[in-house]
A and B are shown apart, each in its own frame.
Chain A
Amino acid sequence: MIEFVLNGRGRRVRVPPMKRLLDVLREDCSLPGTKEGCGEGECGACSVLLDGRTVCSCLVPVVQVRGARVVTVEGLDRGGRPSALQRAFIDLGAAQCGICTPGMLVTAAELLRHARGRVPSEEEVREALAGNLCRCTGYQKIVDAVRAAARGASRDGAAGTSGARAPGRSRAGTARAKRSRTARTKRSRRRG
């Protein structure tokens, strides 16, 4: 039996400990919003927040989330209403086919949380999203939507994403998350 907090609610699953978190979410928790694109941590479609950090759920055995907080795309809304980030994705055309969208939103939510109301630069957004592949949009509208959501959030004085129901960041946590983003970026810059 593995217990963790899923989208703000306690959850217990009885599954093999090495089962991929992705499959546990989709099959055992009936949350199919998290998608599989490659199964090897390259495309980012399966991104979820694990204790506030973006991870590829296809690479995480479920035993690793024991006691942790997991947030999926289904947990990004604000009490049933789309968050500023989700709204911006709709309004600015950042979701086309939609298959990368859950992972993009999760990664962007982490970025906005760390930005704490500051509007990240276009380059920062591109770097943060470099581990999430999109084949439809050419990324421009995704970058625009993330920044628009950040602007909206800084105007409202509220977090753009309530969904990442993680606690406030410690400095160490921030640094760790940044490292993980950098690692993803490096991976995405691989050649041949």
Chain B
Amino acid sequence: MARRARLPRASRTVLRPPASVGRSVPRLEGLDKVTGRALYVDDLRVPGVLHGRTVRSTIARGRIKRVSLDPAFDWSGVVVADHRDIPGENLVALIEDDQPLLAAEEIRHAEEPILLLAHEDPERVEAATRAVRIEYEPLEPVLTIEDSLARKAPLYRDDNVFKNILIERGDVERGLAGSDLVIEGEYRCGHQEQLYIENNGMIAERTPDGGLLVRGSLQCPYYVHKALVRAFALPPDKVRIVQTVTGGGFGGKEEYPSMIGGHAALLAWKSGRPVKIVYDRLEDIAATTKRHPAAIKLRTGVRRDGTLVANAIDIVMDGGAYVTLSPVVLSRGAIHAAGPYRCPNVSIRARAVATNTPPNGAFRGFGAPQTQFAVECHMDRIAAALGLDPLELRRRNAYRLGDVTPTGQVLRESVGALEALETAARRARWAERRARHERENRAREARERGAGLGGAAAGRRRGETSRNGAGPRANGRRLRRGIGLALAYHGAGFTGSGEVKLGSIAALDLSHDGRPRILSASTEIGQGTTTMFAQLVAETLGVPADFVAVETPDTGLVPDSGPTVASRTCMVVGGLLEKCARAMRERLELFAERPIRDARDFQRIARRFLAERGPLRFERGYEKPPEIEWDDDRYRGDAYGVFSYGCCVVEVEVDLDTGETRVLRTIATADIGKAIHPILAAGQIEGGTVQGLGYGLLEEVRWKDGRVWNHQLTNYIIPTSMDASPIEVVIVELPYSRGPFGAKGVGELPMDAPAPAIVAAIAHATGARIDEIPVTPERLLEGLRDGARRDGSRSSPGSRRGGKRS
């Protein structure tokens, strides 16, 4: 039975019969993190370590003519490595194996690694990088989606398209023809930097048995393992990858650690010394992956009552210079592109194109935040065209049990779209706040007209206070308030047959002191994997969570439970661990010939078992639920086992003269099946929501000749505690029968809705509908100038200012 749970207040944790699951137990590594004892990669002391640096391309496209070392520089003690030193294949193995570990001749993007240097003294190696001369034969780069599609230069095969996807349901053209109204829109989003606060870093060393040990900040130990096995032509058991405490990932440490790990390992291989490469912020922002920019067009047919009839969607994403993860990012983006809405006729055409910019990669949401930004903005445009409340339009079309997605997936259970929507609207007091903002904005506008404020003159008069009573304090500022909402969904686990192909394995064994020990490659990167896994196992075994040991993700010790991505850790890997725990409990109770009573009892039985029978270990691999079917060639079937649903409501205050937007209040609801650890789950929702606010308002990567020029925290702006508003989270729990204790995915969902919610709130406040994020002050001011012209009927300040545009 569906149940909605309000988040318990942390300070009054409610003790309920379940020992662990559903309770916010103290996170296992919490004490280390608040005392400074947690050791991140840069904190590790390695005797005899060399500091590695990467020499990178300064051009976006061309050929390397010559690499030379300045003879005036003292090169003694400096280790130099290039592509010729790679013992195996010169590539970073991932999907298509097209990205070299070090550029040999061809340069496909700026910051492409060419040469590696290492020295004991970090300052000397820094100086050495400046003594490397690289001569290029530059070629004209392709830097935008449009230039790539226009084939300004051939970058990939004959059409510059890395991946093409077509998803079709029903008959879109007939549907559009039969609609009362067809609404078109085009939306764009730029790059976004993951901006984990701990920069990327790895330490590599040769092992006495002729292999490699690589430790570092990463999400996916077996990705690095796979890449190094290929690059060093080593047998798998000679490469060992160990995760160190990781200071955030958000996808940014999914694939790039294979590159850095390969570089550190190559320098270690050549020198025989341990080598540490830790990026500084500039290098990390300039060289590593970002969220894919996208251009998305929608053509949607509706009935007058708001029922969606047909949706034709065209998506183009900028993949950057190499294939890397673009096909799967595009896939997730395409599948989510129509939003959580029933629609009988849908066509989704999606392409990822090549450009000469650094490869774009994984970032929380993985394509879905882009496409759902577009569809949610479009839903608001449709609502405006029909004169419907945006909440009402969504209410009429949101998925219900039994509805069918564009890939033909029947939603059989755990469909929380309406629940998430209605809960958020209730909590936000949607109708009341909406009416109030409209009333107050009208009053403010009238007062300003009376006071002679308005138009460009207002900016010059700031400070000449006029008496403005209600609403925000004005002091001569022309402020408007608005409220907006967006609804989103997010598939948990790998797309399509991904989980089957991955076949992940997790294990549980008994440590020699008789405690259960979790063995998985799933990483703790701040989101709470360790504690959440321990809870799932503890609950099943009937012991407290802190009794469960969790092994460090170390490819020498743990099986491959797959990458820590795609909102799959709890639902997929957690599910495997729950199965392992059930088997272990059964085995031990059979052995003891009675039920396990508590942790002490468990330990007593386990020790006796170890003494009499030897080691005990259970492994479980992913098994496809029989009802899930996916056809990769036709893109039909169950794209995901289940979806999570979330709604975000945002209230904003916009300054019409400066174009600044302040977020006043944020409400986020999420149907995640079951919150194993309510505080950690809420932490995911709050953190993702603020990243979404940054995506919508602040975060803009600026480029010059294919290089990032704002590669600093001074000018790449992420939200501070003052940019983020207070956030209210409501967790909705509609359990999923295949998830552990009903859990679905939580990690990525909260990234999907905030950006379109902000755009909607700004439109509500000002009448200007901005189709491109981030809505920087510059972009908003421009939108205010011509907003009314595009949107027609609304009377807004922008409409009066429209004529002043030269």
Binding site for B on A (CB under 8 A): 26, 31-40, 42-43, 45, 72-74, 76-77, 82, 86, 89-93, 95-102, 105, 122, 125-127, 129-144, 148, 185, 188-192
The 6 closest A-B pairs by CB, nearest first: A33-B36, A97-B526, A99-B247, A98-B33, A138-B690, A138-B686
> B residues within 8 A CB of A130?
720-722
**Nearest-CB residue, chain B, relative to A23:** B122
| Interface set, chain B 14-62, CB cutoff 8 A to A | 24, 26-27, 29-40, 42-43
Are B712's CB and A42's CB within 8 A?
yes
Residues of the B chain whose Cβ atoms lie less than 8 Å from the Cβ of A134: 197, 721
Asked if residues A90 and B714 are in contact (CB atoms below 8 Å), the reply is: no
Asked if B776 is an interface residue, CB under 8 A from chain A, the answer is yes
Known: A77-B35, A97-B525, A148-B11. A141 touches B686 (CB 8 A): yes
Could you tell me if B197 and A192 are in contact, using CB atoms closer than 8 angstroms? no
Contacts of B281 in A (CB 8 A): 37-40
Contact of B713 among A38, A92, A125, A137 (CB under 8 A): A38
* CB–CB A101/B34 < 8 A: yes
Cross-chain contact B11 with A97 (CB below 8 angstroms): no
Shortest Cβ gap from B283 to chain A (Å): 11
CA distance A10 to B580 in the complex (A): 53
A-B contacts, 25 listed (Cβ < 8 Å): A32-B36, A35-B197, A40-B712, A43-B197, A86-B34, A86-B35, A90-B26, A90-B33, A91-B10, A96-B683, A97-B196, A97-B198, A97-B249, A98-B29, A98-B34, A99-B248, A101-B33, A129-B720, A129-B721, A135-B250, A136-B683, A139-B721, A139-B724, A143-B721, A192-B778
Residues of A within 8 A of B776 (CB): 192
- Pick the residue among B527, B686, B717, B727 that contacts A192 (CB under 8 A): B717
| Contact residues in A for B26 (Cβ distance below 8 Å) | 90-91
Q: A38-B713, A138-B690 are in contact. List 19 more A-B contacts (CB 8 A).
A: A33-B37, A40-B713, A42-B714, A90-B27, A95-B33, A96-B526, A96-B528, A97-B196, A97-B526, A125-B721, A130-B722, A133-B197, A135-B194, A135-B250, A135-B718, A136-B527, A138-B683, A143-B726, A192-B715
In the complex formed, the residue of A with least CB distance to B196 is A135
Q: Which residue of B lies closest to A83 (CB)?
A: B34
Among A77, A86, A141, the one with the most B-chain Cβ atoms within 10 Å of its Cβ is A141
Q: How far is the CA of A97 from the CA of B196 in the complex (A)?
A: 9
A74 with B35, Cβ < 8 A, contacts A92-B11, A99-B247 known: yes
Chain A hits for B714, CB < 8 A: 40, 42, 190
A73 pairs with B35, CB closer than 8 A: yes
Q: A87's closest neighbor in chain B, by CB?
A: B34
Of the candidates B34, B199, B727, the one whose C-beta lies within 8 Å of that of A138 is B727
A133 B718 Cβ-Cβ under 8 A: yes
Q: Is B687 an interface residue (CB 8 A)?
A: yes
B680 at the interface (CB under 8 A from A): yes
Q: A92's closest neighbor in chain B, by CB? A: B10
* Max chain A Cβ within 10 angstroms of own Cβ: one of B43, B720, B723: B720
Residue numbers of B with Cβ under 8 A of A are 10-11, 24, 26-27, 29-40, 42-43, 194-199, 245-250, 280-281, 525-528, 660, 679-680, 682-683, 686-691, 700, 712-715, 717-724, 726-727, 776-778
Task: State A190–B310 Cα separation when bound (angstroms).
Answer: 44
Q: B720 — which chain A residues lie within 8 A by C-beta? A: 129-131, 133, 139, 188-189
Chain A residues with Cβ under 8 A from B719's Cβ?
A: 139
Contact B722 A127 (CB under 8 A): yes
> Measured between alpha carbons, how far is A122 from B726 in the docked complex, in Å?
9
Please report the C-alpha to C-alpha distance between residue A136 and residue B685 in the assembled complex, in whole angstroms. Answer: 10
Which residue of chain A is the closest to B32 with respect to CB atoms? A98
Chain A residues closer than 8 Å to B196, beta-carbon distance: 97, 99, 135
Residues of B within 8 Å of A127, CB to CB, are 721-722
* Bound Cα distance from A175 to B35, whole angstroms: 29
Residues of B within 8 A of A32 (CB): 36, 39-40, 42-43
A35→B717 contact, CB < 8 A: no
Distance A27 CA – B633 CA, assembled complex (angstroms): 55
Chain B residue numbers with a CB within 8 Å of A129 are: 720-721
Q: How far is the CA of A135 from the CA of B546 in the complex (A)?
A: 27
Contacts of A189 in B (CB 8 A): 720, 722-723
Shortest beta-carbon distance from A133 to chain B in Å = 6
Residues of B within 8 A of A133 (CB): 197, 713, 718, 720
Q: A36 to B713, Cβ gap below 8 A?
A: no
Whether the pair A97, B246 counts as a contact (CB closer than 8 A) is yes
Check B24–A93 contact: CB distance below 8 A.
Answer: yes
Contact B35 A33 (CB under 8 A): yes
**Contact assessment for B689 and A138 in the assembled complex, using a CB-CB cutoff below 8 Å:** yes
Q: Least Cβ distance of A109 to chain B in Å?
A: 11
**Do residues B11 and A191 form an inter-chain contact, with CB atoms below 8 A?**
no
A1 to chain B, nearest CB (A): 22
**Nearest opposing residue in chain A for B681, CB measure:** A93
* A91 to B43 CA separation, bound complex (whole angstroms): 25
Expressed in whole angstroms, the minimum distance between the Cβ of A76 and any Cβ of chain B is: 8
